[in-house]
Amino acid sequence: MRDIYDYSYKEMEEYILEKGMRKFRAQQLFTWLYKKRVNGFDEMTDLAKDFRTMLEKDFTFSSLEVVNQQTAKDGTTKYLFKLADGHLIETVLMYNDYGKSVCVTSQVGCNMGCKFCASGLLKKKRNLTVSEMVSQVLFVQKQLDKSQDRVSNVVIMGIGEPFDNYDNTIQFMKTINSDHGLEVGARKITVSTCGIAPKIRQFADGDYQFNIAISLHAPNDDLRSKIMPINHAYPLKELLSSLDYYSSKSNRRITFEYILLKGLNDTQECANQLAEIVRNRNAYVNLIPYNSVDESGFSSTSDKESLKFYDMLMKLGVKATLRAKHGDEIEAACGQLRAQSERNL
C-alpha cells in the first residue's frame, strides 16, 4: 500500500477518475494535505464519507515520529525521526536572513564513501520514499505554522546522495514546489550531489528551475579521487562536461561546494586550479567550514586561512561566498548529521 504523500496531484486525479469519482476531489484532498496540513484522514471533515473510507482503505498516511529534537542558540533545530520500519533520519531547520530553510535527508545511510563525511559511516540501508521526504518538510512547516511562519527554502543536503535516489528526489521536489503542494519556489529548492554525471545530464533534460549544487571539494583528480571515491567513476572531465551540458539547457547558476580542509585543498595551487574550473562557467564557489569528524583524520582550515583562501579566489576573479556555520554545537552543522543516533538508541 502506498502512502498518500507519494502521489503527485496528477496521479491522484487519475486514481480518483478510475474509481468513478469526479476530479475535484483531488483538489479537495490536496487542500487538506498541503494547505490545511492535517494529521490524518479523519480530520478531513468535509470529504464525502465514501471518499474518505476509500482513502483509508487504499492509502497509508505517513507521519514521522519525532524521537528527539535539539535547538541551538541560533535557533537551528535538528529533528530525529523514526520511520515506519524503525530506521532513524535527521532533518534540520535553519534560520537565515532570507528565510527559514530545511535540510532534507534522502537516504538511510549513504554509499558514496566521502572520506571526510560522517554520514558515510553508516552504509546505505535504503532510499527514502517520496512521502518520507515530503513528510520531513511538512513536519517542519507544521511547527512553523504555530507562529504563522513558513519554510522558504529547501536543500537536499542531509544524509544520502539524492541522485542515487533520483526518481523519488525529483518527485519530492515537484511536490513541495507544486501549487497544489507546499508552494516552495523552485528557485528556492536546491539539490546537492557528489557528482553522478549521468544523473546531472538527466536533471538537465528535465528543464527544471530548481538549483543544483555540486560537492566539488577538490580541484584536481588526484586529490578528489583520494577524498571522494565517486571521482573514480566520474572524474572531473566527465563531471564538468555534464555541468556544461546542464548550463547549455539551464540559466541557473551552479553552486560548487568546497569544504576547506587544512593543508589539503586550501593552497594557492588549489585556488588556481579551482579558478580554472569556475571562472568561465555560470557558477560560484560556496566555501564551507569543515566540521571535524572524529574518525576521519581531516582538520578544518582556520578562520584566518579560510579568509586568505577566499581572497585568493577573489583575486583570481572567482565569485565565492564563505558559508556561516549553523548549529554546530548540536551537531546539526553541514555534514554532521550522523547516523550515530542509530547506534546510540
Supply the residues annotated as catalytic: 90, 334
Structural contact between residues 300 and 322, judged by C-beta atoms closer than 8 angstroms? no
Q: How far, in Å, CA of 144 to CA of 166, rounded?
A: 28
Q: Which three cell numbers stand for residue 101?
A: 530553510
Q: Which of 219, 227, 196 is nearest to 116 (CA)?
A: 227
Asked whether position 335 contacts ligand SAH by CB under 6 A, the answer is yes
Asked whether position 243 contacts ligand SAH by CB under 6 A, the answer is no
Torsion of CA 259, 265, 271, 275, to 10 degrees: -60
Q: Which of 208, 212, 171, 176 is nearest to 193 (CA)?
A: 212
The interface with ligand SAH within residues 149-208 (CB under 6 A) comprises 157, 161, 192-194
Minimum Å distance from CB 265 to ligand SAH? 12
Q: Which of 341, 328, 288, 327 is nearest to 122 (CA)?
A: 341
Using CB under 6 A, pick the residue from 4, 137, 293, 318 that binds ligand SAH: 293
* CB neighbours of residue 229 within 10 Å: 16
Minimum Å distance from CB 288 to ligand SAH? 5
Minimum Å distance from CB 231 to ligand SAH? 12
Asked whether position 128 contacts ligand SAH by CB under 6 A, the answer is no
Q: How far, in Å, CA of 177 to CA of 192, rounded?
A: 17
For ligand SAH, give the closer residue by CB, 33 or 117: 117
Region binding ligand SAH by CB under 6 A among candidate stretches 33-41, 62-70, 115-123, 126-134: 115-123
65: Cα separation from own chain's centroid: 20
For ligand SAH, give the closer residue by CB, 12 or 76: 76
Asked whether position 339 contacts ligand SAH by CB under 6 A, the answer is no
Q: Which three cell numbers stand for residue 276?
A: 580554472
Minimum Å distance from CB 97 to ligand SAH? 21
DSSP 8-state assignment for residue 300:
B
Asked whether position 13 contacts ligand SAH by CB under 6 A, the answer is no
**Residue 141: helix, strand or coil by DSSP?**
helix
Region binding ligand SAH by CB under 6 A among candidate stretches 109-117, 201-209, 306-314, 315-323: 109-117
For ligand SAH, give the closer residue by CB, 81 or 290: 290
Residues forming contacts to ligand SAH in the complex (CB under 6 A) are 112, 114, 116-118, 157, 161, 192-194, 215, 257, 259, 288, 290-291, 293, 334-336
